[in-house]
Amino acid sequence: MNNRINFLKESFKNLKTLGTVTPSSRFLAARMLKGIDFSKVEVLVEFGPGNGAITKLILEKLPKNATLICFEINENFYNQLSQIKNKQLIVIKSSAEKIEEELKRFNFNKTNHIISSLPLTIIPEEITNEILKKSFLALEDKGTFIQFQYSLTYFKKLKTVFNQSISLGFEPLNFPPAFVYHCKKVD
């Protein structure tokens, strides 16, 4: 309960960058990770992990030799995530548009999957364009970019970036209910 209260306080202070007032539900986390063959994951990237609702499920599923890199720009959430004691977790206070250079900094060329909770609809368009372009480039072939949103606003944009290779899901057991975009990189 304390995590939810802290999340709510943080969201009211930073609604323009968080885009929500509640953390993701376990149902949304499960839907976002559904379809990932974790046995083949070497490195997974998470954008906007917030208080770690999805991060914790990723860490439960991650093979022992794999790495999770979380990009979080909010100072309080960054500090919370940094306290998670797990040698597979790297938490960086960096913007998602720097994915390529951050992967290189940790000696990775590509990532298998990107899980994104970024509120794309409230981020300036030129920044979201850059994030999506760089994400596509940072993914290995057949890697996935999984994004949730509370509307269908980004469906056409994601279809353009990911060459029409996109499927859409819906999670009603989240507040608010969310659409989940599963985008596959196909060159």
- Local confidence pLDDT in tens for the 187 residues of the chain: 455 444 444 444 444 444 444 688 999 999 999 999 999 999 999 999 998 999 999 999 999 999 999 999 999 999 999 999 999 999 999 999 999 999 999 999 999 999 999 999 899 999 999 999 999 999 999 999 999 999 999 899 999 999 889 999 999 999 999 999 999 998 7
Contact 22, 7 (CB under 8 A): yes
What is the per-residue pLDDT for 163?
87
Per-residue pLDDT reduced to its tens digit, 137-149: 999 999 999 999 9
What is the per-residue pLDDT for 3?
52
Name all domains of the chain by residue range, CATH numbers in brackets: 25-184 (3.40.50.150)
Q: Which residues contact 77 (CB under 8 A, 6 or more apart)?
A: 10, 49, 50, 51, 52
What is the per-residue pLDDT for 79?
95
Contact 144, 73 (CB under 8 A): no
Q: Which residues contact 56 (CB under 8 A, 6 or more apart)?
A: 84
As a whole number of angstroms, the distance between CA 40 and CA 124 comes to 34
What is the per-residue pLDDT for 7?
40
**Exposure on the CB side of residue 7, measured as CA atoms within 13 A:** 18
What is the per-residue pLDDT for 184?
96
**Within 10 A of 103 (CB to CB), how many other CB atoms are there?**
17
